[in-house]
Amino acid sequence: MPAAAPAPTAANTTSSGSGQTVCVTGAGGFIASWIVKLLLERGYTVRGTVRNPDDSKNSHLKELEGAEERLTLHKVDLLDLESVKAVINGCDGIIHTASPVTDNPEEMVEPAVNGAKNVIIAAAEAKVRRVVFTSSIGAVYMDPSRNIDEVVDESCWSNLEYCKNTKNWYCYGKAVAEQAAWDEAKARGVDLVVVNPVLVLGPLLQSTMNASTIHILKYLTGSA
């Protein structure tokens, strides 16, 4: 097996993104915070969307190296298309990580779908080069009829009826949101790449714990 490439550092990546602007939605989250950090280290200008730029839970972003010169935080409602268009216009790329995380179907499904569609629509109108969409293993793996040894690829989807019957609205929402993103991207000619993370662990940049890290904490405290 080939050795893994060394992690990029500010010293060897600073110039690669110079002159390019990337929009990161949900910039204060665990994955997004690391994306913002690495983009800044590579020299990109970053526009981060958050619910409230002045909220203290987003303060870690302003402390990142390069943030003062090349990071701006924008209050954006992803369900408001005009709001999304305003922040995306002029960007070279979009990394869409924002999504509800809840088991309430009304708060999970429609907002996830419409938010994803609005990002794709805005990207098409702004002629953005590429959209990277952070989906989830929950969008592709929840199917009781699938063999445990089966390799999951881009042709696989979670069984929506199974998700509904088990009230797994998070996985249901992630699946239909990703499907909507693909449909919208194909219809509008947007270059879309989707990533489906499983268990996301690592050092926390933000002050709040992400869902995966909470599972580890529960095992350590005996509350799992």
Domain with residues 21-143+155-221, CATH architecture: 3-Layer(aba) Sandwich (3.40)
Q: pLDDT tens for residues 195-221?
A: 999 988 888 898 777 777 787 888 888
- Residues 6 or more apart whose Cβ sits within 8 Å of residue 69: none
Please report, for residues 61, 176, 201, the alpha-carbon distance to residue 113 in angstroms, rounded to integers and kept in the order given: 27, 7, 26
For the chain, the domains span 21-143+155-221
- What is the rounded distance in angstroms from the CA atom of residue 64 to the CA atom of residue 102? 29
Among candidate residues 65, 30, 56, the one with its CA nearest the CA of residue 46: 65
pTM: 0.87
Residue 153 has pLDDT above 70, yes or no: yes
Q: pLDDT tens for residues 95-146?
A: 999 998 888 999 999 999 999 999 999 999 999 999 999 999 999 999 999 9
Q: What is the DSSP letter of 140?
A: T
Among candidate residues 205, 213, 200, 212, the one with its CA nearest the CA of residue 58: 205
> What residue type is assigned to position 142 of the chain?
M
93 by Cβ neighbours in 10 Å (0-12 / 13-18 / 19+) ranks as buried
Detail the DSSP E strand segments found in the chain. Answer: 21-25, 45-50, 71-75, 93-96, 130-134, 192-195
Please report, for residues 44, 52, 71, 125, 213, the alpha-carbon distance to residue 59 in angstroms, rounded to integers and kept in the order given: 19, 11, 12, 31, 20
Task: Kindly list the catalytic residues.
Answer: 174
Residue 1 has pLDDT above 60, yes or no: no
